[in-house]
Structure 1
Amino acid sequence: MLLTFRGDTLDLLRRTPDANGTIIYPLSRRASIKDIFEGLGLPHTEVSRIILSRQEQTFEKIVLNGEHYEIHPLTSAMPPTMASTLRPIPLASYSFLVDINVGRLAGLLRIAGIDTEAVEPESTDSNTVQRAIDEKRILLTRNRDILKQRRLVFGRLVRSENPDDQLREIVDLYRLQNRLLPFTRCIACNGLLNEVPKDAIIDRLLPLTKKYYTLFSQCAACGKIYWRGSHHDRMTDKLEKIFGYKP
């Protein structure tokens, strides 16, 4: 049996393919195509299409000797909001669940205005996957094993190690550039921010904040207060460097 891997799926393989991205796989047991390529190191969440004789296949396809499969990567051309053979029930919107191994990414996505929840430190892999399913979120992680759980439909093995690069990676992959609403979500809890009169929260402000700032917003969920101080300016500069964002 032959498997030809396309795009960045090649980067995740534990076995070196030939110059065409093809691996000769000696089939010795009954197995699904998902079991085969996950055994080679590639989580099923990273695959957008499985092609056999020009026909798209599902993860459950039982492989046979003599077959030649093409394994295609996730790309921005096949968003999770679009139905496909591998994912017939698409997501209604873009929202994410960020694992603790890419924890800083959660804050950056929230700053960019993307609906993002964070995995609790005590959460098991099983509970994390179930939460992603229940809340219809895309799981972002650097843990390959959690992405191999069969019931998980939407996920991404984050390639980058640097948080800023991770943010760029996710925004580019899911084409979120036109969905960004910077400074509309709470960095701490993901709640939505609403403008609030200074008089309504003045007793919670430090003296210098009272003196120098007039515009404030407050998280509708946790009550955290925000204003356009030095941190806001640094985050604006960061978003400008990554996306060209200008307020």
Structure 2
Amino acid sequence: MAQITIHFHHILNDFLAPAYRHREIVHRYDRKASVKDMIESFNVPHTEVERIVVNGQAVDFSYLMQDGDHIQVYPASANPGVPSPLPLRPEPPSPPRFIVDTNLGRLARYLRLLGLDCLYHNDYADAVIAQIASAQQRTVLTRDRSLLRRSLIVHGYFVRSDMPKTQVREVLARFDLYRSIDPLTRCTRCNGKLTATDKHQIAHRLEPLTKKYYDKFLSCPDCGQIYWQGSHFERVMQLIGQLLSHPKQLDTRRQ
């Protein structure tokens, strides 16, 4: 029976059983396996892994493990000090385009409020999410580890927090999105890009008081939703301020 040692670094320990965290794991196996399969056997999604080092050399997910291998697994933002690391996946679009699973609807709405491209439907099946992510080069945001283990998904992130506003700060920090924020430019209902709309074109859809007191409007060309700076605008701006305050930094120092 072959034996390897494997060490998951930094925030990858979030996925491990307590007995395996922050230590080298001695593991025996009796069949030929790729390093990707071995990593995911410890419940660490491949999308969370940025770099793999075997016996001091960078490898990709297809590497077939050998008896006696010493494996180091690193997340994004961690620097193992290996020159010219071997990329595990192509670079995502910048800024990234997201697709959010069905349990994170509030996160999707908040990201859209900040102007970020974020697909979401409350009836998306996991297989559909994986297909869309692959076809459109979208990064999957989820709290479902099994979803991130689907081979079609190249880019993904497991959202740690279960609080929507904290989730937003977490995603902004993880993907360094603060310079990409452009609030109130996307439809929070469907993700469409908002456009300035002449009042006369939509006058028949406005309530009498809205028609009387407001002249500037935005609308979504995809779903037809209309937006204006009404009495709710101050609350919206307060919400945006809350989402952008106290950015959460991922802890990449934990060993």
State the TM-score, normalizing by the size of structure 1: 0.89
Quote the residue 1:11 is aligned against: 14
Quote the residue 1:132 is aligned against: 133
Distance 1:5 1:31 in 2: 18
Quote the residue 1:221 is aligned against: 222
Quote the residue 2:174 is aligned against: 173
Say whether the 8 Å CA contact 2:186–2:194 is kept in structure 1. Answer: yes
Q: 1:15 to 1:26 in 2, by over 3 A?
A: farther
Compare 236-245 and 163-172 and name the one that shifted more.
236-245
**After the TM superposition, which parts of structure 1 deviate over 6 Å for at least 4 consecutive aligned residues?**
none
Q: 1:34 to 1:53 in 2, by over 3 A?
A: same
Quote the residue 1:65 is aligned against: 67
Distance 2:243 2:122 in 1: 28
Question: Following TM superposition, by how much is the alpha carbon of 1:214 offset from its aligned partner in structure 2, in angstroms?
Answer: 2.6
Aligned-partner residue type, residue 53 of structure 1 = N
Question: Following TM superposition, by how much is the alpha carbon of 1:232 offset from its aligned partner in structure 2, in angstroms?
Answer: 3.1
Quote the residue 2:46 is aligned against: 44
Distance 1:63 1:84 in 2: 17
Distance 1:197 1:203 in 2: 12
Question: Following TM superposition, by how much is the alpha carbon of 1:84 offset from its aligned partner in structure 2, in angstroms?
Answer: 5.6
Quote the residue 2:159 is aligned against: 158
Query: 1:132-154, CA deviations, whole angstroms, 9 ceiling, x for partnerless residues?
Result: 10011001111111111122111
Tell me the percent identity.
36
2:240 match: secondary structure: helix
Matched ranges for 1:87-98 at <5 A: 87=89, 89-93=90-94, 94-98=96-100
Q: Which has the higher contact order (CA 8 A, sep 6+)?
A: 2
Quote the residue 1:80 is aligned against: none
Question: Following TM superposition, by how much is the alpha carbon of 1:95 offset from its aligned partner in structure 2, in angstroms?
Answer: 0.5
Question: Following TM superposition, by how much is the alpha carbon of 1:244 offset from its aligned partner in structure 2, in angstroms?
Answer: 4.8
Compare 202-211 and 170-179 and name the one that shifted more.
202-211
Query: 1:15-47, CA deviations, whole angstroms, 9 ceiling, x for partnerless residues?
Result: 5226x4321112222111111121111100010
Distance 2:195 2:159 in 1: 31
Question: Following TM superposition, by how much is the alpha carbon of 1:105 offset from its aligned partner in structure 2, in angstroms?
Answer: 1.1
Distance 2:142 2:232 in 1: 26
Say whether the 8 Å CA contact 2:59–2:86 is kept in structure 1. Answer: no
Structure 1 unaligned spans of 5+: 78-82
Question: Following TM superposition, by how much is the alpha carbon of 1:65 offset from its aligned partner in structure 2, in angstroms?
Answer: 2.3
